Amino acid sequence: MGQKKDLTGSEKSKIVRYLAEGCSSLKIAKLLKRDHRTIKRFIQNSQQGRKKRVKKPRRKITAHELRKVKRAAAKMPLATSLAIFQSCNITGVPKSTRCAILRDMAEVRKAERRPPLNKTHKLKRQDWAKKYLKTDFSKVLWTDEMRVSLDGPDGWARGWIGKGQRAPVRLRRQQGGGGVLVWAGIIKDELVGPFQVEDAVELNSQSYWQFLEDTFFKQWYRKKSASFKKNMIFMQDNAPSHVSKYSTAWLARKGIKEEKLMTWPPCSPDLNPIENLWAIIKCEIYKEGKRYTSLNSVWEAVVAAARNVDGEQIKTLTESMDGRLLSVLAKKGGYIGR
């Protein structure tokens, strides 16, 4: 005779229901047309239940140790609970207990991605907004670099921050530090690039203008009409390689000078619409936790994502500038939402 099949989930549910109704194991076996021993075995195993978990005595924390933990949390922002307790030489404390203790004096937060604006920054942002309030932004070429890594965007670290304590600023690495460095521009409804900076080198004045010469000028700008070049305004941020005397003189020789070279306020990535383009591309290349095994593969993903950005999306970004300027003035130079 072949071996009987195990009880199905449906049969187990019926056994529980019949038991609740007061049926005996023998009657349940007849109702389900199953062997009586099978029914009895299931009932016995169910009645045994799980073994009770033995509660281990928790490590007690003294008032002195609590003070040490509080000082360590203040000195080590964004640290893990384990790192904080280890720095105090407190061992044998389970994670649940560490977190419960820390919740009374700290909270888990991300690092700040934008540095705080001081009074000078805010005044310069307001002056910039007033200066360009009547500008035709369809003539502005907005440029920027973006760094992409194999594992995802920088600056997303979480950790414990003492209550009332400000999270430290962790800026995204724009130049250097590995990964792929990408340059691009947007104007009206057109995407310029993206172009890859070879070997993701840190750009200095000379490598910056050489890069622009080999990519932007030779592959895009040179093909434009004289009237287009006459009206175009070139925007770049205040990275050292951008605003050095060497780079400024080189751009001037290319005809990009004075009113054709936009001045840029400090600490103002929120005012550059191309930052929104970077966000679109990063969401695409890192969706569903995607990671990459080579720099070439992540660069190919950037190119593919950029191709999927249509002219209407770019036009929406460039046409948002009037609203951004008004927001800066309304917030008296403060950061605006992007």
CATH number of the domain residue 135 falls in: 3.30.420.10
Regarding whether 208 and 298 lie in a shared domain, the answer is: yes
User: How far is C-alpha 63 from the chain's CA centre?
Assistant: 38
With a CB cutoff of 8 Å and minimum separation 6, the contacts of 97 are 58, 59, 61
Cα gap 236→274, rounded to integer Å:
11
Establish if 192 belongs to a structural domain. yes
Do 14 and 71 fall into the same domain? no
Residue 140, H or E segment = strand 140-148
| 307 and 256 share one domain | yes
Whether 172 is covered by a domain: the verdict is no
For 186, residues 6+ apart whose C-beta sits below 8 A from its C-beta are 141, 142, 192, 273, 274, 277, 314, 317, 318
Please tell me the total count of domains within the chain: 3
Which pLDDT band, with edges at 50, 70 and 90, does 1 fall under? Answer: very low
Distance CA 154, CA 148 (A): 8
Helix (H, G, I), strand (E, B) or coil at 87: helix
For 4-48, write each residue's pLDDT tens digit.
678 888 888 888 888 878 888 899 999 988 989 888 888 888 766
Among candidate residues 25, 5, 1, the one with its CA nearest the CA of residue 14: 25
Indicate if 97 and 22 belong to the same structural domain. Answer: no
Question: Per the domain annotation, does 57 fall within a domain?
Answer: no
pLDDT in tens, 159-201: 667 776 666 655 444 444 457 899 999 999 999 999 998 865 5
Same domain (yes/no): 127, 274: yes
Q: Exposed (0-12), middle (13-18) or buried (19+): which is 221, by Cβ within 10 Å?
A: buried
User: In terms of domains, do 67 and 141 share one?
Assistant: no
In a domain, 227, yes or no: yes
Q: In the predicted model, what is the mean pLDDT of residues 52-62?
A: 67
Backbone angles phi, psi at 256, to 5 degrees: -100, 95
- Determine, yes or no, domain membership for 254: yes
Whether 20 maps to a domain, the answer reads: yes
Judged by DSSP in three states, 232 sits in coil
Q: Is residue 336 part of a domain?
A: no
Q: Is residue 191 part of a domain?
A: yes
One domain, residues 264 and 146: yes
Tens-digit pLDDT profile for residues 269-279 = 999 999 999 99
Indicate the pTM of the whole model.
0.64
pLDDT digits (tens, 9 = 90+) for 209-220: 999 999 999 999
| One domain for residues 204 and 308 | yes
Q: Are residues 99 and 124 in the same domain?
A: no
Higher pLDDT, 96 or 153: 96
Q: Which domain holds residue 67?
A: 63-104
244 and 95 both lie in a single domain:
no
Same domain, 78 and 204: no
Same domain? 95 vs 207: no
Phi, psi of 147 (to 5 degrees): -105, 130
- Alpha carbon distance 294, 141 (integer Å): 31
Backbone angles phi, psi at 77, to 5 degrees: -60, 140
